[in-house]
Structure 1
Amino acid sequence: MSLINTEIKPFKAEAFKQGKFESVSEADVKGKWAIFFFYPADFTFVCPTELEDLQSEYAALQSMGVEVFAVSTDTHFSHKAWHETSPAIGKIEYYMLGDPTGAITRNFDNMREDMGLADRGTFVVDPDGVIQVIEVTCEGVGRNAAELVRKVKAAQYVRANPGQVCPAKWEEGEETLAPSLELVGKI
């Protein structure tokens, strides 16, 4: 069953963010756009490239009212150690949630049970706590943060403009569509 258009489940986690530990729950997500960016593990190979790429778009996401929560089944202590030892991870300013029990990862149906690790999954959540975008890739395929920003802009546009939809490769400012009987078969 798809999680699209479902509300996120309650959670509580410890996070590492900008040199501090903070408690985070679903209440911290409500009322704003959020990205839950799951990755398999700290101190790995593709993960730091993705997290660094996401950091390169963090200011743009923040300007759009979006908060980022990176999540792995590591602890918040491990996130701190990785942040202090990796040049790529040392740049990160967004939340890094520890999920050692796997509760959050399972809430998003994103756990590889045989390994106890999160899949490489991205979930965009609207201000009502409803999942609007999901992307999951296999272990060896990294994600593109610029494309994620484009998807968030499209989701925000659709929310703000009921009756409008964004076609393939839509970029902010481009023409959208208003689905209707008259459009059927004309695209």
Structure 2
Amino acid sequence: MGLINTHILPFGANAYKDGKFTRVGDTDVLGKWTIFFFYPADFSFVCPTELEDLANHYEELQKLGVEVYSVSTDTHFVHKAWHDESEAIGKVKYTMIGDPSGELSRNFEALDEQSGLANRATFLIDPQGVIQFHETTADGIGRNADELLRKVKAAQYIAAHPGEVCPAKWEEGEATMAPSIDLVGKI
């Protein structure tokens, strides 16, 4: 995928949040850090474990100024039914976008055209609407919100500190690096 450092494409979609149906579009995500968390299907197996894990980290993400949108090709009506019926999904406070046409999933190159389902894909968007991070895993491999949180902090750090980079396994408060010719061959 060549989506890193590209702007998100225009979209409009129906969603479910806080017991209400709402409409979400590309202009709603500008001006803040945003996570798009694509997953294959409601009422499935790995997906609820991931959405619950993300729900357990939502408050901390909010404190960092990050908004979260989960996305599947189910409708917003199905999201409401799943939210009402599942104890794990009942914890979700972030917006659940319905993408039955696949428009948003296609915009992020996250749609499996054969099945019509979204891939298990995560995107971090900066306040200017630019994709800073993405990962896609096979359907059977669940994601870890702790690692996502670490990557959000790293992306926010380098955005606030131009000229610095975060090395592998960087955690908030640890040393960063300023790339220079003097470091070549010394790491």
TM-score category by the smaller chain?
over 0.9
What corresponds to 1:60 in structure 2?
Answer: 60
Question: Partners in 2 of 1:26 and 1:113 — Cα distance?
Answer: 23
The residue type equivalent to 2:112 in the other structure is R
Q: CA deviation at 1:18?
A: 1.1
> How many residues end up aligned between the 2 structures?
187
Task: Specify the alignment match of 1:179 in structure 2.
Answer: 179
CA RMSD in angstroms, aligned pairs only: 0.5
Specify the code of the residue in structure 2 equivalent to 1:12. Answer: G
> Which residue pairs with 2:128 in the alignment?
128
Deviation at 1:60, TM superposition (A): 0.3
Deviations 1:23-44 (A, max 9, x none): 1101100000000000000000
Runs of 4+ in 1 over 4 A off after TM superposition: none
Q: Tell me the CA shift for residue 157 of structure 1.
A: 0.3
Shift of the alpha carbon at 1:75?
Answer: 0.2
How far did residue 2 of structure 1 move? 1.3
**Which residue in 2 is equivalent to 1:112?**
112
Mapped to 2, the partners of 1:62 and 1:90 lie a distance apart of 18
1:87-125 deviation line (CA, Å, top 9, x unaligned): 000110000000000000000001100000000000000
In structure 1, the partner of 2:166 is 166
The CA distance in 2 between the partners of 1:125 and 1:15, in whole Å, is 19
TM-score between the two structures when normalised by the length of structure 1: 0.99
Q: Which residue of 1 aligns with 2:89?
A: 89
Which secondary structure does the structure 2 equivalent of 1:57 belong to?
Answer: helix
- 1:3 to partner: Cα distance: 0.3
Indicate the SS of the match to 1:140.
coil
Q: Does the residue aligned with 2:104 lie in a helix, a strand or coil?
A: helix
How far residue 179 of structure 1 moved from its aligned partner, in angstroms, is 0.3
Unaligned runs of 5+ in 1: none
1:3-22 counterparts in 2 under 5 A?
3-22=3-22
Tell me how far apart the structure 1 counterparts of residues 176 and 99 of structure 2 sit (CA, whole Å). 39
Q: Distance in 2 between matches of 1:61 and 1:2?
A: 26
Matched, 1:2 2:12: no
User: What is the percentage of aligned positions where both structures have the same residue?
Assistant: 66
- Give the secondary-structure state (helix, strand or coil) at the position aligned to 2:157: helix
- Equivalences for residues 16-31 of structure 1 within 5 A: 16-31=16-31
How many Å separate the matches in 2 of 1:15 and 1:168? 36
